[in-house]
Amino acid sequence: MKRKIIGILICTLLIMTALQTLGTINKNVIPNDPYFDKQWHLDNNGQTGGTPDCDIDAPEAWEIETGDPNIVIAIIDSGVDYTHPDLIDNLWINEDEIPDNGIDDDENGYIDDYHGYNFYGNNNSIKDYWGHGTLNAGIAGASTNNNIGVAGVAFNCKLMIVKVFDQVHQLDLLAMLNGFRYAVDNGAKVLSASFGTYKEYIPDDDFQQLEDLADYVYSKGCVVAAAAGNSNTDTPLYPAGFGNVIAVGGTDGNDSRMEYSSTYASNYGDWVDVAAPGYFIYSTAPTYYHTYLDEYGQLNYSQRIGTSFAAPQVAGLAALLLSRDPSLSPDEVKTLICENVDPYYSEYYIGTGRINAYKALEALINQTNNPPEKPSPPSGEINCKTGEEYTYYASTTDPEGDDISYLFDWGNGMTSFIMGPYESGVECNASAIWFEKGDYEVKVQAIDEFGAESEWSDSLLVSMPKIKVKNTPFLTFLDNHPHLFPLIRQILGL
């Protein structure tokens, strides 16, 4: 009996040690998208000649959060190929608008704005003839783990198409003002803006309108991630240069400042907030002719250089943070992104560091994660026999809906760790055997996927009234002839 108990103890300790070890290993979500390996900015293992881990740690971040469809990212750009197979499932839909009926069904001032609107042409033609907007859309939120193409940073969020320029990258102030307001007023929580202008090129009145617009977006609780520009200058580019906007510089695959030539390199200066990969970023491209084909573009998928393609990564990260906690303010999102970074290597200042999606989400969890609710007392048999196995049940809920594991304490110095994932509210069970008579207080604790522990439940009192004895023919005979007991006691001198 002692050997059996010792064996059970050793096995239990080994199992618990293994499970605890597994719990400390950071699990990565590697999607099945066939071109994922080309996306070094998400997961850099040196596959494109860069330095391993000079990336935004997307697979690690996706273990925590992949995005909430209720969080909408507005791609304020040259339009988007809304027929692209890697984007179509993630497009925002204006549920109050009937497409292509020529009527402003929702009375928001825009006819047939089913996936967004074209403020450059003042119509609902949101097709992308340049390629710039489609690349940005895929970076921020391409459908992921769908066996097609590429992965997006916030791949369960929705993409709103807001077209403010066409093939020629020329800032149209009115289109930009109307586009930003439309995005905010129609439910976008994150705005990705990969364009801008320098203050010297616009009249003071227009610049003031631009600044007022940034303040309006901020007042509505929306986050704007904007490209810092590629002119190798410390002169602020706007809207990135406004304090209420996240200005995004660019890095390469070695975590150096993105630099293609002496005239085409990431802008820099103390007005830049943070950096993200911007060197040969691979993403979705239009499935039809577009301007990028005249350079080194391709149909369906392509790669480009510039802070334009760093900004949507920051937008995607902002969307992941808001998916985890929709109550975050723009300032809180900006702080989480800018304070949880990896270092870059440059004599030029391009922000606090290169973004790390996993670190930002982990920091948010450390700030806001709540433990599971206190479980109810375990349910199961309370009048038991020693040597027999009994099963007990427990469940609880988690405030954030996190997956749960359970720890059962059997009241005899033994515990059982039942590793999840159990969904919030789903019942778990565990079994135990007691070998000695007595009363035992059985209780249970819940632990969420981020290590937050609930209070211990109230105890269930389990009693062992007798030792189980293996049945034999002799004992069966005595049970059937109880009058022989006094005779046997006399013979044995008892």
Q: What kind and span of H or E run contains 344? A: none
Residue 467 burial (C-beta neighbours within 10 Å; 0-12, 13-18, 19+): exposed
Separation CA 211–CA 91 (nearest Å): 29
β-bridge pairing 301-304 and 281-284: antiparallel
Cα–Cα distances (Å) from 455 to 378, 390, 394, 396, 418, in that order, read 14, 24, 13, 11, 16
Query: What is the token pair recorded at 349?
Result: 């200042």
pLDDT tens, 25-77? 345 789 999 999 999 999 999 999 999 999 999 999 999 999 999 999 999 99
Contacts of 223 (CB under 8 A, 6+ apart): 189, 190, 191, 246, 315, 318, 322, 330, 333, 334
pTM for this one?
0.81
**What 3-state DSSP class applies to 105?**
coil
Whether residue 74 contacts residue 133, with contact meaning beta carbons closer than 8 Å, is answered with no
With 0-12 CB in 10 A as exposed, 13-18 as middle and 19+ as buried, what is 331? exposed
Residues catalogued as catalytic: 77, 132, 308
- Spatial distance between the Cα atoms of 466 and 464, rounded to a whole number of angstroms: 6
How far apart CA 69 and CA 78 sit, in angstroms, is 23
pLDDT at 476: 52
First to last CA, the chain: 27
In the chain, where the domains are located: 36-368, 371-479
Domain 371-479: CATH superfamily, name plus number: Immunoglobulins (2.60.40.10)
What is the assigned CATH class of domain 36-368? alpha beta
Q: Which residue, 382, 371, 343, 393, is CA-closest to 464?
A: 382
Q: Is 110 helix (H, G, I), strand (E, B) or coil?
A: coil
Low-confidence ranges of the chain (pLDDT < 50): 1-26, 468-469, 475, 478, 485
456/293 Cα distance (integer angstroms) = 63
Give the 3-state secondary structure of residue 461: strand
| Nearest-angstrom CA–CA distance, 141 and 155 | 4
Taking all residues of the chain, what is their mean pLDDT, rounded to a whole number? 90
Same fold, 36-368 and 371-479: no
pLDDT confidence of residue 450:
87
Quote the DSSP letter at residue 307: G
pLDDT of residue 490: 57
